Amino acid sequence: MNKLLITITLSISILIEALGGNAAGALTLRSWNSANQRGGDLFNDGKGALLYSEFRASLLERSHTILPGVSTLTEANLADVDIFFHGTSSTILTPTESTVLRNFVKTGGFVIVESDSNRSEQNSANSVLESLGLGSRYTGVVGGVNSPTGGMFKNTVSPTTVGALGDLRGQTFGTSLATDIESMVTDITPTGGMLIGTNGSIRSMVEFQPFANGGQVLAVGDAYGFNLFQSSNNSFFNPNNQKAYMNFIESKKFKAPVPEASTLLGLLTLGTCAIGTKLSKK
């Protein structure tokens, strides 16, 4: 009977491994380089309030890998990347880069898109969303408040609001002058966006899933990855800013592709045969 139990356990383990993939593994991120991103390259350790050193340190502390930033998007540059971070950039994607990013998300890649109140950054962020078939969602409207508690997460379950670092629904986050994001051009899934955070009347955090079974996109209307919001030494610090980003990033662990039906059938058959063999020998 013990051998039968072991066989059943092994069969179930095989199925769980197939379904879960490397869900427990660390993730790999890449951003633009310092020449293409106002807040600097995530790979480098900048110290100013408008840089990303605190965000970077937290990613490394949680065993994630950050690759050196890039000046252009290519298939090779994103080949081993789980999350691409488009932060405070004025770079407009070329048609080739748009295709690369579209394929990246279509096959499961995640993207964080930041834009501050600068019009050039809004145009850049819109070029990212347009490449994914989402249109220009940054509306050009700027507003909100400067406060460590000026933002409010919606009471909505999403990869950003509920995750590895906690449940943020109904909680505050740090804000400054932000740009508005149009969350719903259409309410047809998966092209419709989910509004998850506001800064006053400004819709400053929106999630998208551009392709069925593809990756997720978090669009934000302020540079919430800056030390300004993520370092306790700064005036707009709120730990929920970092928790939100980390929840979104680490939700990628559980976005492993489901095996083909034929693969699952084969595994089930293997387990069933093994169990049947053990029973027949009793």
pLDDT, tens only, 113-126: 999 999 999 999 99
Q: Does pLDDT of 192 surpass 80? A: no
Q: What would you report as the CA-atom Rg of the chain, rounded to the nearest whole angstrom?
A: 21
Tokens of 179: 């740009």
- Tens-digit pLDDT profile for residues 236-254: 999 999 999 999 999 998 7
Residue 144 domain flag: yes
One-letter amino acid of 218: L
Contact by Cβ (8 Å): 158, 196 = yes
Give 187-196's long-range contacts (Cβ < 8 A, gap of 24+): 190/214, 191/133, 191/134, 193/134, 193/137, 193/219, 194/156, 194/158, 195/154, 195/156, 196/153, 196/154, 196/156, 196/158, 196/160, 196/161
Residue 276 domain flag: no
Candidates 164, 261, 252; CA nearest to 209 is 252
Domain count of the chain?
Answer: 1
Q: What is the CATH number of the domain that holds 118?
A: 3.40.50.880
Tokens of 101: 């990013």
Tokens of 234: 């700064």
C-alpha 117/C-alpha 147 separation (Å) is 16
Structural domain for 224, as ranges: 22-255
Residue 263 domain flag: no
Residue 15 domain flag: no
Q: Does pLDDT of 71 surpass 90? A: yes
Residue 268 domain flag: no
Query: Measured in whole angstroms, how far is the alpha carbon of residue 152 from the centre of its chain?
Result: 19
- For residue 80, CA distances in Å to 30, 56, 97, 216 come to 10, 18, 17, 17
pLDDT, residue 184, reads 60
Strand 28-31's sheet: what is its strand order?
65-66, 28-31, 83-86, 110-114, 217-220, 202-208, 194-199, 147-153, 172-175
Q: Which residue has the tokens 């932060």?
A: 87
- Name the 3-class secondary structure at 189: coil
Residue 9 domain flag: no
Residue 270 domain flag: no
Q: Does residue 190 have a cis peptide bond before it, meaning omega lies within 30 degrees of 0?
A: yes
Q: Does pLDDT of 265 surpass 50? A: no
Contact by Cβ (8 Å): 257, 108 = yes
CB-side neighbour CA atoms (13 Å) of 260 = 3
- Tens-digit pLDDT profile for residues 128-173: 999 999 999 999 999 999 999 999 999 999 999 999 999 999 999 9
Residue 246 domain flag: yes
